[in-house]
Amino acid sequence: MPTMRAVQVPRAGGDFELVDRDLPTPGRGEVRVRVQACGVCHSDMFAKEGVMPATPFPIVPGHEIVGLVDEVGPDVLGGWDTGDRVGVGWFGGACHHCGPCRRGDFITCENGRIPGVTFDGGYADAVVVPADALAHVPDELSAEEAAPLMCAGVTTYHALRSSPARPGDRVAVQGVGGLGHLGIQFAARMGFEVVAVSRGREKEDLARELGAHAYIDSEAGDPGQALAEMGGAAVVLATATRGEAISGLLPGLDRRGQLLVVGAAETPLQVDAMSLIGPVASIAGHASGTSTDSEDTLRFARLTDVRPMIETMPLERAGEAYDRMMANDARFRMVLTTGQ
Amino acid sequence: MPTMRAVQVPRAGGDFELVDRDLPTPGRGEVRVRVQACGVCHSDMFAKEGVMPATPFPIVPGHEIVGLVDEVGPDVLGGWDTGDRVGVGWFGGACHHCGPCRRGDFITCENGRIPGVTFDGGYADAVVVPADALAHVPDELSAEEAAPLMCAGVTTYHALRSSPARPGDRVAVQGVGGLGHLGIQFAARMGFEVVAVSRGREKEDLARELGAHAYIDSEAGDPGQALAEMGGAAVVLATATRGEAISGLLPGLDRRGQLLVVGAAETPLQVDAMSLIGPVASIAGHASGTSTDSEDTLRFARLTDVRPMIETMPLERAGEAYDRMMANDARFRMVLTTGQ
Amino acid sequence: MPTMRAVQVPRAGGDFELVDRDLPTPGRGEVRVRVQACGVCHSDMFAKEGVMPATPFPIVPGHEIVGLVDEVGPDVLGGWDTGDRVGVGWFGGACHHCGPCRRGDFITCENGRIPGVTFDGGYADAVVVPADALAHVPDELSAEEAAPLMCAGVTTYHALRSSPARPGDRVAVQGVGGLGHLGIQFAARMGFEVVAVSRGREKEDLARELGAHAYIDSEAGDPGQALAEMGGAAVVLATATRGEAISGLLPGLDRRGQLLVVGAAETPLQVDAMSLIGPVASIAGHASGTSTDSEDTLRFARLTDVRPMIETMPLERAGEAYDRMMANDARFRMVLTTGQ
Amino acid sequence: MPTMRAVQVPRAGGDFELVDRDLPTPGRGEVRVRVQACGVCHSDMFAKEGVMPATPFPIVPGHEIVGLVDEVGPDVLGGWDTGDRVGVGWFGGACHHCGPCRRGDFITCENGRIPGVTFDGGYADAVVVPADALAHVPDELSAEEAAPLMCAGVTTYHALRSSPARPGDRVAVQGVGGLGHLGIQFAARMGFEVVAVSRGREKEDLARELGAHAYIDSEAGDPGQALAEMGGAAVVLATATRGEAISGLLPGLDRRGQLLVVGAAETPLQVDAMSLIGPVASIAGHASGTSTDSEDTLRFARLTDVRPMIETMPLERAGEAYDRMMANDARFRMVLTTGQ
Ligand SMILES: [Zn+2]
Ligand SMILES: [Zn+2]
Ligand SMILES: [Zn+2]
Ligand SMILES: [Zn+2]
Ligand SMILES: [Zn+2]
Ligand SMILES: [Zn+2]
Ligand SMILES: [Zn+2]
Ligand SMILES: [Zn+2]
């Protein structure tokens, strides 16, 4: 029986270990993808630490997967074929029969699956996924570049395009990191006036190179106030990890503005009702996106030359890549490569 | 010089006092309204306690005003004429030249005026207001009934009609009080499935008479959980005064649901980012409404037979009415009458 | 082998004939429904006359089906079970792999199926349909009443709830027939000010009983002009069969109003660009709705007491029912019953 | 008394004539603008030919005006001051008391004024306009470049940003002329995939330079079909002058797409109801924009380097410029300069 390399977490909180596993076989409606690159995402922590009860151990993490269709299981519709370049992100397939699915709202599926969290993911030479989790990957994007777009990319692109901001509006991106460095690029290519908000002045030049028209050093004063003085933002894309930092930007919203929350914060947002009522403002959550949202992301990245900044490591150094990401040292996304 | 009765607050925190004042003369773009009825609103507290620096003392409170146009000042456009039945609410006129005004968003005017808060209001025989603060009042509504619709009414009606909820959707109204007893009626007439949420079972019968299809006793368990078990709400209209009570209903939102905040809460909402991201939910503030929003409210109330439940008192008992309102004893809105 | 009665059309343009057929067996993902009632719709003409190349002859018409699940085929998800009360409408299942389906927009599926048009429908004792075409039917609705809601009902309800009209807005319903008599009821229950537009005065009383607040006799003058004089409509729900009659209502739109087209018209609409530009108005097409839209329709009908006006005939008189419908004599929907 | 040069049309259909006029004095709420540049627009034909009864003759045409505030009349609010760089477009001020104005929808004002059509416009050394018609002009834009943005620019920019298209969507621009060459630039800067549609292949290179990603020669086949084969457009911005050419692009809409009509067509659109119902598509009219929409246009042009292609002529050659424009010879907007 053919085998493959995989990096697995043996138990909640356990260390990564490189193992040989049987090459998995796609079941009904599934395909096997030969992994070329897999991004390392902060949410891999859900698997590593066993945060969600649904995670089966040992688990192979990884939900920013790009590779080639290797084998197509029975009853797969949609024309997927061996050799197709595909990507898989946080969205690992919907059930197609729950309430949200019957209404076509797959991202809120009550039985939604997540690669690398509820089933084995992309820290491996191959992965088996439901066909509805597949996104086509354009030839113009390398596997390494496309991988982070499957999660960090689709999250920021899809959040921004679905937001109330219209071209020419001011949009603030909080944080110049894994999410933010993509959010700035996407926002600029969408015709927004982009304000980057980050700690210190160190990332200002980079933010401007990525497309930001203005920069706010959140340590130099009250960033919400600074944003308000610029005229306020139609949308603030918040990527901070502390709730207070996120809600602290509420005063920076223009009337009818929206604070867009895309990442799990460690502490709750503190929201004064009047900060929403007076300016008729809102706070909205945004979940990553389905496989077609990912396709749109890749298509937009190709069309407008958006690319993630990445550091690559071979699969067997997954633990090192993960540590670097968790330490916030990555500039800005770690990507594992298999050499395939 | 003709005089009129007025109930004024002499200084921040001072007691109400009935005084005689010169009958005010409308300036350019203004009209004088002979007051027939004026509702007593919890926000009169802003004037009474001098919460806002913009309040000039002595101040005559009152921003739920219904009466007859008595005199039309110079340069008033729009065809307003002596004898017209009119109402005035929280919206006391816009500046028409600030940024929001130039875009037609009068409710967020940077120089907006508020009757009874930034200038003398309706606890009097007459009031002078800018013509753009006037709403036409249909003949079918009595002055007493129309008055609370100018603030509590327009706030709930306009919030609901502007919300993402669509006819047939489940809408929860938190609180069966001054705002809530109107919110339930409006929601039911808009074709929503209405869930009333209140403390105890005392108000259940009334809520159902007003149009609620279901009732949740928020003391009998976790009301957010109870709402979720019904299938979740597309919109929760929150009228609670404590932030925790409001954010406590977030788990009761259906996917893509919205928590709609219409009143100043005494404490901040506590919002876990994941409670918004997973269901792609949002929290939105809503400001009362302009004079045309009030006209729409009155028109809808006439069309669908929505009426506030009121207790009336003559103008000179304003202090008593205010105390009753603040003690939460009113069922459900206090209205002062002048006998005119 | 068990058999059943069916009324089929042997060839394009042929006459209806009552035949015995083998009871069909549900395949994978399908269920068999024991038909209790099936509405007769003007679109049955597509089958009868063989308008669409996709229609296989002989064909059993009928796409307003209500009955009981009789047998559940293999691999049916979603918990459907024998004895469930279900309805099936124009939406006969989506392919779940085409572009629109991958985005959850099932009603625009490129491979969508239609009962009674692309496969055998409800003019029979039983019908086999894909499980995703099934809507739950509430107990409070009889099979005869629920049947027309599966097509005429969902079309008008879903069009109105998806329209830009907000509660309190003026909505005109053109035509008081199979679609219009439901449109008027739905619009009134949604809190709209409803204007019925029809030829002559004969249907005025009925229109008002159904909920219309005003009536325009389209033969007594220019109906678009008459509607404009009322203040214009936020939405016109057009059900006329001649394009000129539909576009003739464009002048009756309020600024930013929408003409909503829900039925195939025999002749094209004539649209002067300026009639759209000046008032910033629009014309929008609306397709019936999916099975969950139908569920929402039934739920709303139950909640607000909307019922179709029907005439019933036993299955074997299908031809007579069809002729009566085509002659525009039905008041307002014909429904076939099987006695099951 | 000081005088100025003006080019006027003496009577409906009359020839342009260069005259000396008294320098006009701004009345209440008005300002005088010293004209630097004024674009020549196809809609100047309304004045030239006396199409609208509201045009007073003799009339000075011109509604694409850029210059400097020269004198501020009494009661002008908003901080306008002598020397301010300003622009004035088709929107020549609203009445602020009609129904739409009270709702803040100034562009649909029932008493709206139009420079060069209902009062004297910009074919002159100076023009007097209501202050609410003024847009701030950024320093980075020359007067000649800014002028056409006041009408052709705001029309296309505001139409596109208000459309249902989202970044990454395919947007077709019909026509590569005065409107279209701006529409293509705006669409590309908004992150759309832009398809230019024009007659012949002559303009293809230019269209691509302006930002188009694809080109359809409407004479080489059915352009609606060609667009459909590319996958269909979320929005078609139609600038053709014949209705049939506009409605001919309906088949090129993607599901839920919108045909956006921004210019008066000489003949009506022919719309088959099914072409809207099947794909759930729509046709929407779009009116130019108010002074703040113009400000947004200028701001966006500055932000993203959008510029009109212009040919300039001195004021006294207005007739020649007009003829060149009407003959469709301009590449692409004619602009008159005063030398001030
Ligand atoms: Zn599901
Ligand atoms: Zn991720
Ligand atoms: Zn109030
Ligand atoms: Zn203002
Ligand atoms: Zn499909
Ligand atoms: Zn039908
Ligand atoms: Zn106006
Ligand atoms: Zn123009």
Paired tokens of D137? 């002009």
In this structure, are C70 and C103 located in the same domain? yes
- Using alpha carbons only, what angle is made at residue A289 by residues D233 and A39, rounded to the nearest 5 degrees? 115
Residue A41 within any structural domain of the chain: yes
Residue A296 within any structural domain of the chain: no
Report the pLDDT value the prediction gives residue A30, as an integer from 0 to 100: 98
User: Which of D156, D160, D161 is the mutation pick for testing A, counting most A CBs within 10 A?
Assistant: D161
In this structure, are B180 and B94 located in the same domain? no
Q: How confident is the model at residue B121 (pLDDT cuts 50, 70, 90)?
A: very high
Measured between alpha carbons, how far is C184 from D208 in angstroms, rounded to an integer?
Answer: 50
Measured between alpha carbons, how far is C161 from C152 in angstroms, rounded to an integer?
Answer: 14
Measured between alpha carbons, how far is D22 from B45 in angstroms, rounded to an integer?
Answer: 58
Paired tokens of D192? 């759309």
Q: What is the mean pLDDT of residues C202-219?
A: 98
Paired tokens of D260? 């956006």
Backbone phi and psi for residue B298, each to the nearest 5 degrees, phi listed first: -65, -40
Backbone phi and psi for residue D68, each to the nearest 5 degrees, phi listed first: -120, 140
Measured between alpha carbons, how far is D143 from D37 in angstroms, rounded to an integer?
Answer: 6
Q: How many residues in total does chain B contain?
A: 340
Question: Are the Cβ atoms of B193 and C304 closer than 8 angstroms?
Answer: no
Q: Which residues contact B84 (CB under 8 A, 6 or more apart)?
A: B68, B69, B134, B136
In this structure, are D189 and D132 located in the same domain? no
Report the pLDDT value the prediction gives residue A32, as an integer from 0 to 100: 98
Asked whether A194 and A168 are in contact (CB, 8 A), the reply is no
Of C270, C285, C300, the one marking the end of a domain is C285
Residue of D nearest to C155 (CA): D277
Measured between alpha carbons, how far is D72 from D78 in angstroms, rounded to an integer?
Answer: 11
Report the pLDDT value the prediction gives residue C320, as an integer from 0 to 100: 98
Nearest ligand atom owner, CA of C113: 5
Measured between alpha carbons, how far is A56 from C77 in angstroms, rounded to an integer?
Answer: 24
Is the predicted pLDDT of residue A264 greater than 90, yes or no? no
Question: Are the Cβ atoms of A106 and C105 closer than 8 angstroms?
Answer: no
In b/e form, how buried is each residue of C107-119, taking b as 16+ CB within 10 angstroms? bbbeebbbbbbbb
Q: Which chain C residues touch A79 with a CB distance below 8 Å?
A: 97
Kindly state whether B27 is in contact with chain C, defined as any CB-CB distance less than 8 angstroms: no
Q: How far is CA C135 from the centre of its chain?
A: 14
Q: Which chain D residues touch C284 with a CB distance below 8 Å?
A: 276, 280-283
Residue C142 within any structural domain of the chain: no
In this structure, are D317 and D278 located in the same domain? no
The alpha-carbon gap from B78 to the nearest alpha carbon of chain D, in Å, equals 5
Residue D52 within any structural domain of the chain: yes
Reduced to 3 states (helix: H, G, I; strand: E, B; else coil), residue D38 is strand
Report the pLDDT value the prediction gives residue D265, as an integer from 0 to 100: 87
Question: Nearest 10 degrees: CA dihedral of A104, A110, A113, A116?
Answer: 130
Report the pLDDT value the prediction gives residue D149, as an integer from 0 to 100: 98
Paired tokens of C94? 């989506």
Q: Which chain A residues touch C103 with a CB distance below 8 Å?
A: 104, 290, 292
Residue A145 within any structural domain of the chain: no
Q: How confident is the model at residue C312 (pLDDT cuts 50, 70, 90)?
A: very high
Residue D180 within any structural domain of the chain: yes
Is the predicted pLDDT of residue C197 greater than 90, yes or no? yes
Is the predicted pLDDT of residue A74 greater than 90, yes or no? yes
Integer CA distances (angstroms), D212 to C308, D172, D193, D333, in order: 51, 9, 7, 19
Is the predicted pLDDT of residue B332 greater than 90, yes or no? yes
Q: What is the mean pLDDT of residues C59-65?
A: 98
Q: How confident is the model at residue C216 (pLDDT cuts 50, 70, 90)?
A: very high
In this structure, are B164 and B274 located in the same domain? yes
Within a 10 A sphere around the Cβ of B1, how many other Cβ atoms?
Answer: 5
Residue whose token pair is 């212009």:
D310
Report the share of chain D in percent with pLDDT over 70: 100
Residue B300 within any structural domain of the chain: no
Asked whether A289 and A91 are in contact (CB, 8 A), the reply is yes
Torsional class of D119: left (φ above 0), alpha (ψ -120 to 50), beta (otherwise): beta
Please write the tens of the pLDDT for every residue from B132-148.
Answer: 999 999 999 999 999 99
Report the share of chain B in percent with pLDDT over 90: 98
Secondary structure element (H or E) that encloses residue C295, with its range: helix C291-304
Report the pLDDT value the prediction gives residue D6, as an integer from 0 to 100: 98
Q: Which residues contact B327 (CB under 8 A, 6 or more apart)?
A: none
Beta strands in A150-279 (DSSP E): 170-174, 193-198, 214-217, 233-238, 253-261, 269-271
Report the pLDDT value the prediction gives residue D1, as an integer from 0 to 100: 80
Domain that holds residue C208: 154-285
Residue D96 within any structural domain of the chain: yes
Asked whether B270 and A247 are in contact (CB, 8 A), the reply is no
Report the pLDDT value the prediction gives residue B1, as an integer from 0 to 100: 80
CATH number of the domain enclosing D214: 3.40.50.720
Report the pLDDT value the prediction gives residue A78, as an integer from 0 to 100: 93
Partner chains of C (3+ C-beta pairs under 8 Å): A, B, D
Report the share of chain D in percent with pLDDT over 90: 98
Asked whether B247 and B271 are in contact (CB, 8 A), the reply is yes
In this structure, are A115 and A210 located in the same domain? no
Please write the tens of the pLDDT for every residue from C88-123.
Answer: 999 999 999 999 999 999 999 999 999 999 999 999
Residue whose token pair is 């008599």:
C181
CATH number of the domain enclosing C323: 3.90.180.10
In this structure, are C129 and C222 located in the same domain? no
In this structure, are D273 and D194 located in the same domain? yes
Kindly state whether A74 is in contact with chain C, defined as any CB-CB distance less than 8 angstroms: no
Please write the tens of the pLDDT for every residue from D292-310.
Answer: 999 999 999 999 999 999 9
Kindly state whether B254 is in contact with chain C, defined as any CB-CB distance less than 8 angstroms: no
Paired tokens of A317? 């150094």
Reduced to 3 states (helix: H, G, I; strand: E, B; else coil), residue A87 is strand
Report the pLDDT value the prediction gives residue C264, as an integer from 0 to 100: 84
Q: Which is it for strands A85-88 and A135-136: parallel, antiparallel or unpaired? A: antiparallel
Measured between alpha carbons, how far is B107 from B121 in angstroms, rounded to an integer?
Answer: 18
Is the predicted pLDDT of residue C1 greater than 90, yes or no? no
Q: What is the mean pLDDT of residues A44-68?
A: 96
Residue whose token pair is 């991004």:
A39
Is the predicted pLDDT of residue C152 greater than 90, yes or no? yes
Ligand 1 centroid to A110 CA: how many Å?
A: 5
Q: Which residues contact A56 (CB under 8 A, 6 or more apart)?
A: A118, A119
Q: At what angle do helices D180-189 and D291-304 cross, to 10 degrees?
A: 70
Ligand 8 centroid to D184 CA: how many Å?
A: 18
In this structure, are A274 and A315 located in the same domain? no
Report the pLDDT value the prediction gives residue C265, as an integer from 0 to 100: 87
Report the pLDDT value the prediction gives residue C8, as an integer from 0 to 100: 98
Report the pLDDT value the prediction gives residue C129, as an integer from 0 to 100: 98
Backbone phi and psi for residue B99, each to the nearest 5 degrees, phi listed first: -55, -60
Report the pLDDT value the prediction gives residue B156, as an integer from 0 to 100: 98
Backbone phi and psi for residue A163, each to the nearest 5 degrees, phi listed first: -80, 165
In this structure, are D202 and D106 located in the same domain? no
In this structure, are D58 and D84 located in the same domain? yes
The alpha-carbon gap from C246 to the nearest alpha carbon of chain D, in Å, equals 10
Please write the tens of the pLDDT for every residue from D208-254.
Answer: 999 999 999 999 999 999 999 999 999 999 999 899 999 999 999 99
Q: Closest CB to D284: pick one of C265, C272, C276.
A: C276
Asked whether C146 and C37 are in contact (CB, 8 A), the reply is yes
Kindly state whether B201 is in contact with chain C, defined as any CB-CB distance less than 8 angstroms: no
In this structure, are A175 and A59 located in the same domain? no
The number of distinct structural domains making up chain C is 2
Measured between alpha carbons, how far is A10 from C61 in angstroms, rounded to an integer?
Answer: 59
Q: Closest CB to A273: pick one of B258, B263, B276.
A: B263
Kindly state whether C286 is in contact with chain B, defined as any CB-CB distance less than 8 angstroms: no
Measured between alpha carbons, how far is B41 from B322 in angstroms, rounded to an integer?
Answer: 8
Measured between alpha carbons, how far is A219 from A239 in angstroms, rounded to an integer?
Answer: 16
Residue whose token pair is 């008032």:
C279
Q: What is the mean pLDDT of residues A333-339?
A: 98
Report the pLDDT value the prediction gives residue C193, as an integer from 0 to 100: 98
Q: How confident is the model at residue C191 (pLDDT cuts 50, 70, 90)?
A: very high
Q: Residue D213: how many CA atoms within 13 Å on its side-chain side?
A: 20
Please write the tens of the pLDDT for every residue from B215-228.
Answer: 999 999 999 999 99
Please write the tens of the pLDDT for every residue from B268-294.
Answer: 999 999 999 999 999 999 999 999 999
Asked whether D276 and C283 are in contact (CB, 8 A), the reply is yes
Q: What is the mean pLDDT of residues D111-123?
A: 98
Q: Which chain D residues touch A168 with a CB distance below 8 Å?
A: 157, 161, 296-297, 299-300, 303
